[in-house]
Amino acid sequence: MSKAFLSIENLTQRFPSGKGEQMTVFENASFGIEKGEFVCILGHSGCGKSTIMNILAGLADPTSGAVLMDGKEVSGPSLDRGVVFQNYSLLPWLSALKNVTFGVAARYPEWSKAKVVEHSTKYLSMVGLDGDAIHRKPSQLSGGMRQRVSIARAFANHPKLLLLDEPFGALDALTRGTIQDELLKIWSGTSQTVFMITHDIDEAILLADRILLMTNGPFARVAESVEITIPRPRKRDQIIDHPNYYAIRNHLVHFLATRSKELAGQQTGSESNTPQTVRIDRLEEAKGDDSDDPRPASHLRAVNE
């Protein structure tokens, strides 16, 4: 396969597991992400999603394997890879605006103070924060507003790759919906490459171009890469009526509910674990095109989580 913009090659992570043994979280994980793509990764807790995220961010080192971005190996954290952490990670002694200018000033040290403030204010208003709110400390903001600040900080830095570690995990369902919309809005205006961890299937379908599915650990691997064949711009109340929506959703639920367990713990030796590409498109099927959906449509059934 030709080198993707971001290429994860034979990534293996082992941790010592007490009695001198090694616990393999995942082994020989390999996948690529194209420039401008929005990729979500879905999997159960403990499958190593966050470990992959930390390796991509440069905050942790893999046991073996490499991450290449733009053909260069990633080592250590960098401003080219912005991170939005689950717990917002805002600095509590700084106001919302100062939290964003902190990042912008680090990214563009040559900018004047006024330009940094103007740029930061622009990105805060893009996520719906303006006026008095941007001068408040994080403790005076709601969880949703804090995560908006965190997203603004990440986007304002124009990283080559944006890493989102379950950014909406700590938010209630209604707030999560609004901020997903904000995220889509700010993302569609850029050609930002995004890699995001989530637990939420509907969130992944709404946001992603492609969803990577991980099997359970130990020896977890990225088993499938599911294309989301729903055209953009997407609206949460409209995509549920799209013929592909439930077909894709059911495939994902089925994977997480049963197949992630069936496929778990299979050691594959030294071969590279490239995920199998899955494309579910009812519209193409209806036109009589060949579909590479691995499972016939008649087997798809509605599953309620």
Residue 146: CB atoms within 10 Å: 22
Among 34, 45, 46, 59, binds other proteins (CB under 8 A): 59
What helix, strand, coil percent values describe the chain, rounded to 5?
A: 35, 20, 40
Closest approach of Cβ 138 to other proteins, in Å? 8
Closest approach of Cβ 63 to other proteins, in Å? 20
User: Do residues 293 and 280 touch, judged by C-beta distance below 8 A?
Assistant: yes
The token pair at 78 is 């960098």
Closest approach of Cβ 277 to other proteins, in Å? 31
User: Given the complex with other proteins, which of 162 and 220 has the nearer CB atom?
Assistant: 162
Q: In what order do the strands lie in the sheet with 72-73?
A: 22-33, 6-16, 64-69, 72-73
User: Given the complex with other proteins, which of 98 and 234 has the nearer CB atom?
Assistant: 98
DSSP 164-192: EESTTTTS-HHHHHHHHHHHHHHHHTS--
Cα separations (Å) of 200 from 111, 132, 210, 218? 39, 33, 14, 22
CA 122 to CA 14: how far, in whole Å?
Answer: 43
Closest approach of Cβ 81 to other proteins, in Å? 7
Among 112, 139, 191, 304, binds other proteins (CB under 8 A): 139
User: Given the complex with other proteins, which of 127 and 280 has the nearer CB atom?
Assistant: 127
The amino acid at 241: D
Which stretch, 54-62, 187-195, 203-211, 232-240, contacts other proteins (CB under 8 A)? 54-62
User: Given the complex with other proteins, which of 57 and 239 has the nearer CB atom?
Assistant: 57
Q: Quote the longest CA-to-CA distance of the chain.
A: 61
User: Given the complex with other proteins, which of 83 and 247 has the nearer CB atom?
Assistant: 83
Residues 65-94 that bind other proteins (CB under 8 A): 76-79, 81-83, 85, 87, 89, 91-93
Closest approach of Cβ 34 to other proteins, in Å? 23
Q: Does 107 engage in binding with other proteins (CB under 8 A)?
A: yes
Residues contributing to the site for other proteins (CB under 8 A)? 57-59, 76-79, 81-83, 85, 87, 89, 91-93, 102-103, 106-107, 137, 139
